[in-house]
Chains A and B, each alone.
Chain A
Amino acid sequence: MTDPATPGPAGIADVRPAGSDSDVAGLGRGKASAFVTPALLLIAAFLVFPALWLLWIGLTDLTVSGRTSVDVSFVGLDNYANALDDPLFRNSLWITLLFVFGSAVIGQNFLGFTLAWSLRDAARWLRAVVESLVLLAWILPSSVVAVLWIAMLDRDAGTINQLLDNPGYAWMIRHPLAVIIVFNIWRGTAFSMLLYSAALSTVPPSHLETARLAGASGPQTLRDVVFPHVRAHVLTNTLLISLWTFNDFTPYLLTRGEPNHGSETLPIFLYRQGIDDGALGYGAAASVLMLLINLVLALFYLRLLRRRPK
């Protein structure tokens, strides 16, 4: 997904001459449709169909094995009622809310903005070093970063306990939710940092200079000069990182949702119920709720994109 705040391909598109869709290559509707077909077929089969099927499975008692794997019956909204009644489901919703709010809305947003703001006129090498490290945390594969964090937090010989001289302290068992929140801040701040550095470069230097001459303090400058320029980006960024964090399966690789469901976010709950336990119908009903939340976030995001001033 392209980042709307930076002058990417979308920026190029804005300067194109009007009427780019005149059919210069002589495709005609027939050939054009043929060109579009392979992509649409793939999307229909592996994206649209699963989503629609999900709605149906959620209304049945389908399981992977046992009697109900063959003899499926329609149970209506029972799965939904059960989910809303299930303490484990409600627990995972709550955990997910804390996880998304703590790590994305607050954590990545603030840290990303702070990094972008404080590095904006730092020495070139310093900026390059810090940015590369933050980016590296973002681009390494998720199974690798999970291994790294497991090593770092190991109760007996991990780096953290050695630094704190605190052997035997099991971070993942004592503070599972805090661990995945801090982990996700570490993992995902790069995006916010990139987006905010691009946004900050649109603040006219003369405005900052005027604020400085008028004797404005740092926080005042941020509030009155910088914030009005980046407000739209804050919203875009928050929606995107919330959507990604909400759909992130990586915490499973760290804590597996343990102990005692203490870090079981909604994706992990789905996996446990739908795949591990094979309760496909019940898992599907929970998935529908997840899709609905995704839909709300994505609709807000796309609305913002459309309203973007040209």
Chain B
Amino acid sequence: MNPRQIVARIGFYTFIAVLTGFFVLPMLWLASAPFDSNPGYAPRVPEKPTLQHFSALFENDLTMGSLWNSVVMSFSCMVLVVASAALAAYALSRVRIPGRDALLYLLLLLSSVVTGTAAMVPIFLMVWKLGLLDRQLGVVLVLSGGLLPAAIFILKDFMDAVPKSYEESARVFGAGPLRILREIVVPVARPGLATIAVWTVVNVWGTYLVPFLLLRDQEKQPAAVVVRTFYDEGGGALLGPISAFSLLYSIPVVLMYLFVNRRYGFRFHGGIKS
């Protein structure tokens, strides 16, 4: 190696080290504070590692309830989105409904334009008038409506890739459309369905604004919202529980990411999060 290359090497590693530091710095606290019996705002290696914050969380009805609420809402949205998107995507893939391409294009445009943020006023008003304010059903419906267009769009590509010959043979043996869908298309398109399922769950699990707007009763709020109220009321004294709760609440998302990454290659769905 000549001197110039050595300097370049050193420069490269310094640069990477600085960048790594930038990305890792905020996360250190999440790795240390939950296990520290008396954590501060700065991360440090806990002197006496403890799980006391976690055991306190497990006995806290509010935090456990909010995690359960997150599970219920994510799961409901997942069922609703996967089922209705699969039906729609299949029909759109197999039958030339007039104006199909324009419809898909319009849906995609719509879902990127009418975001929960931009439409928070009418969404709030509508859910209020429907009497769904403070009910998880309202959140589930609003979030599903927002996720559906992209889900249909992605699933249609998967459905298009299902070989038609399978369906033709099934039809020869007298299977009806629903049966063909259930027994042939769904198993073959499973990677697509799983992708959409995980994508929905991750989105709903992490979403803050819509449940924050539509649910005022703490007992109904998901962890995304409760983690914040926890913070505001407690101030410095509650750092242990906050950090432990944040960690507990983050783990499922990370696990799902690892799952998708291993099974189907996350890289191929660069935009899976949004």
Interface residues of A (CB under 8 A from B): 1-3, 5-10, 12-13, 16, 20-29, 31-33, 35-36, 38-40, 42-43, 45-51, 53-54, 57, 62, 111, 115, 118-119, 122, 126, 129-130, 133-152, 154, 156-160, 162, 186, 191, 194-195, 198, 240, 243-244, 247-250, 253, 267, 270-271, 274-275, 280, 283-284, 287, 290-291, 294-295, 297-299, 301-302
Contacts of A136 in B (CB 8 A): 23, 27, 254
A134, A156, A291: the one contacting B113 at CB < 8 Å is A291
Task: Give the nearest-CB partner of B130 in chain A.
Answer: A45
User: Quick check: B249 and A130 within 8 Å, CB to CB?
Assistant: no
Q: Give the Cβ gap from B83 to chain A, nearest Cβ, in Å.
A: 8
> Is the CB of B65 closer than 8 A to any CB of chain A?
no
User: Quick check: B250 and A144 within 8 Å, CB to CB?
Assistant: yes
How far is A300 from B226 in the complex, measured between Cα atoms in Å? Answer: 38
> Is the CB of B194 closer than 8 A to any CB of chain A?
no
User: Quick check: B146 and A46 within 8 Å, CB to CB?
Assistant: yes
How far is A101 from B41 in the complex, measured between Cα atoms in Å? Answer: 31
How far is A147 from B164 in the complex, measured between Cα atoms in Å? Answer: 50
User: Quick check: A45 and B122 within 8 Å, CB to CB?
Assistant: no
Contacts of A35 in B (CB 8 A): 87-88, 90-91
Q: Give the Cβ gap from A123 to chain B, nearest Cβ, in Å.
A: 10
User: Quick check: B121 and A140 within 8 Å, CB to CB?
Assistant: no
Task: Give the nearest-CB partner of B181 in chain A.
Answer: A25
Contacts of B80 in A (CB 8 A): 42
Task: Give the nearest-CB partner of B125 in chain A.
Answer: A280
Q: Tell me whether A23 and B120 are in contact in the complex, defined as CB-CB below 8 angstroms, given that A9-B157, A39-B148, A50-B114 are known contacts.
A: no
Looking at chain A's contact residues, the main secondary structure is helix
B22, B126, B246: the one contacting A53 at CB < 8 Å is B126
Q: Give the Cβ gap from B160 to chain A, nearest Cβ, in Å.
A: 5
Q: Give the Cβ gap from A261 to chain B, nearest Cβ, in Å.
A: 18
Q: Tell me whether A243 and B141 are in contact in the complex, defined as CB-CB below 8 angstroms, given that A21-B95, A141-B205, A151-B29 are known contacts.
A: no
B91, B157, B181: the one contacting A10 at CB < 8 Å is B157
User: Quick check: B145 and A145 within 8 Å, CB to CB?
Assistant: no
Contacts of B27 in A (CB 8 A): 133, 136-137, 148
Q: Give the Cβ gap from B72 to chain A, nearest Cβ, in Å.
A: 17
A24, A150, A156: the one contacting B168 at CB < 8 Å is A24
Q: Tell me whether A115 and B19 are in contact in the complex, defined as CB-CB below 8 angstroms, given that A141-B224, A198-B270 are known contacts.
A: yes
User: Quick check: A39 and B227 within 8 Å, CB to CB?
Assistant: no
Contacts of A6 in B (CB 8 A): 267-270
> Is the CB of B228 closer than 8 A to any CB of chain A?
yes
Q: Tell me whether A144 and B249 are in contact in the complex, defined as CB-CB below 8 angstroms, given that A29-B97, A244-B274 are known contacts.
A: yes
**6 A-B Cβ contacts within 8 A?**
A22-B164, A24-B168, A27-B177, A150-B231, A247-B116, A294-B118
Q: Tell me whether A148 and B246 are in contact in the complex, defined as CB-CB below 8 angstroms, given that A10-B157, A20-B160, A51-B114 are known contacts.
A: yes
Q: Give the Cβ gap from A250 to chain B, nearest Cβ, in Å.
A: 8
Q: Mark B235-266, 1 if CB is under 8 A from A, else 0.
A: 00001001100100110011001000000000
10 closest A-B pairs (Cβ-Cβ)?
A46-B145, A3-B270, A35-B91, A141-B206, A9-B157, A39-B88, A50-B122, A32-B95, A32-B91, A154-B41
Q: Give the Cβ gap from B174 to chain A, nearest Cβ, in Å.
A: 11
Q: Give the Cβ gap from B236 to chain A, nearest Cβ, in Å.
A: 9
User: Quick check: B202 and A139 within 8 Å, CB to CB?
Assistant: yes
Contacts of B90 in A (CB 8 A): 25, 35
User: Quick check: B19 and A302 within 8 Å, CB to CB?
Assistant: no
How far is A22 from B41 in the complex, measured between Cα atoms in Å? Answer: 62
Q: Tell me whether A38 and B113 are in contact in the complex, defined as CB-CB below 8 angstroms, given that A50-B123, A118-B16, A194-B267 are known contacts.
A: no
User: Quick check: B91 and A36 within 8 Å, CB to CB?
Assistant: yes
A16, A39, A274: the one contacting B160 at CB < 8 Å is A16
Contacts of B227 in A (CB 8 A): 143-144, 147
Q: Tell me whether A118 and B267 are in contact in the complex, defined as CB-CB below 8 angstroms, given that A9-B154, A25-B167, A284-B122 are known contacts.
A: no
User: Quick check: A275 and B270 within 8 Å, CB to CB?
Assistant: no
The listed residue with most A CB atoms (<10 A of its CB), out of B19, B84, B112, B253, is B112
A24, A126, A145, A191: the one contacting B270 at CB < 8 Å is A191
